[in-house]
Amino acid sequence: MSVAFGSVSLVGAGPGDPELWTVRGLRRVQEADLVLYDALIDAEALRRLTNARCFCVGKRAGRASVRQETIHRLMIRAAREGKRVVRLKGGDPFVFGRGAEEALELARAGIACEVVPGVTTAVAAPELAGIPVTHRGLSSGFLVIAGHAGETFDAALEAVRPNSITLVVMMGLAVRDVIAKRLETHGWAGDSRAALVCGAATPDEWAWTGRLRDVGTATPPDGVPGVLVVGEVVQIRETLVAMKGMAFNREEREEGEEREVKKTHSL
């Protein structure tokens, strides 16, 4: 008797905190037989949420990692065995997550595939640091680009007027000084406002603000991924910090929630 094929869900896990997962994403993880997760996923939290077998297949710069072709084979083999598979990715599966590549491979293999969007880190990381990627009067659009994209990076910059939009650079922390110089070469002002946001929605949250020409002097924590934001919108964070108008890390947010609970009980 033939075994009915299982299915694969490509699930976006957002920027870091499992509380930012979508309802559907959480349901798929809880129902799964096998979860193949990225390196940036909170593995301890994941194992508390599911009884599935969980394996890390993520990639980190400069470290040994599972080949993409191997990930394809693992998903296809498990689905052909009738298993419900979740490919759990940081951020959104289709934003620098190779989710489309995996969807195409699954389609070629005749495997049912579902995409569950996640909150992309390109927007969530700046947002959690108090930086909107758009703001009336400051920026009406934003460009998300990979810092290691080489010629594609330059081509994207040539397509926009310097300092006309917000620029979010992912996977570029290690070469942030080089990126800053390339931006200046393309006409971006050295005194443009800039920010580095690392470990968004995790206990390792860290942020720096300054000027584009100075990003190379910033010292983000080792091994913590992050984004570079360039644009006038960075001043929103600076204003919020000055006004103490926002909790910028998990500890501050939790303290704020506790204060609200105590205030409610005292009424």
Active-site option among 38, 83, 89, 170: 38
Is residue 262 situated within a structural domain? no
pLDDT digits (tens, 9 = 90+) for 146-193: 998 778 899 999 999 999 999 999 999 999 999 999 999 999 999 999
Is residue 114 situated within a structural domain? yes
Q: 133 and 107, same structural domain?
A: no
65: confidence class by pLDDT, cuts 50, 70, 90: confident
Q: Residue 76 belongs to a domain with what CATH number?
A: 3.40.1010.10
3: confidence class by pLDDT, cuts 50, 70, 90: low
Q: Are 3 and 24 in contact (CB under 8 A)?
A: no
- 70 pLDDT higher than 60: yes
pLDDT digits (tens, 9 = 90+) for 214-227: 999 999 999 899 99
Active-site option among 33, 59, 177, 204: 59
Q: 78 and 115, same structural domain?
A: yes
Please indicate whether residue 214 is annotated as part of the active site. Answer: no
**What pLDDT was estimated at residue 1?**
46
pLDDT digits (tens, 9 = 90+) for 44-61: 999 999 999 999 998 766
Is residue 66 situated within a structural domain? yes
- 255 pLDDT higher than 60: no
Of 14-23, 122-131, 251-260, minimum mean pLDDT range? 251-260
Q: 136 and 104, same structural domain?
A: no
pLDDT digits (tens, 9 = 90+) for 29-42: 999 999 999 998 99
Active-site option among 33, 171, 214, 246: 171
Q: 68 and 150, same structural domain?
A: no
Please indicate whether residue 170 is annotated as part of the active site. Answer: no
Structure-model confidence comparison of residues 160 and 261, the more confident one: 160
Q: 130 and 246, same structural domain?
A: yes
Is residue 2 situated within a structural domain? no
Question: Which of 35, 39, 37, 27 minimizes the C-alpha distance to 8?
Answer: 35
Q: 157 and 196, same structural domain?
A: yes
User: Can you tell me the distance from the alpha carbon of 51 to that of 168, in angstroms, rounded to the nearest whole number?
Assistant: 37
Q: 232 and 128, same structural domain?
A: yes
User: Can you tell me the distance from the alpha carbon of 79 to that of 81, in angstroms, rounded to the nearest whole number?
Assistant: 5
Is residue 145 situated within a structural domain? yes
Average pLDDT, the chain: 91
Q: Are 226 and 196 in contact (CB under 8 A)?
A: yes
Q: 196 and 171, same structural domain?
A: yes
List, as own/partner pairs, every contact residues 29-33 make where C-beta atoms lie below 8 angstroms and the sequence separation is at least 24, other chains included. 29/86, 29/88, 31/84, 32/84, 32/85, 32/86, 33/6, 33/78, 33/83, 33/84, 33/85
Please indicate whether residue 171 is annotated as part of the active site. Answer: yes
Domain that holds residue 235: 122-250
Is residue 257 situated within a structural domain? no
User: What is the count of structural domains for the chain?
Assistant: 2
**What pLDDT was estimated at residue 139?**
97
Q: 128 and 102, same structural domain?
A: no
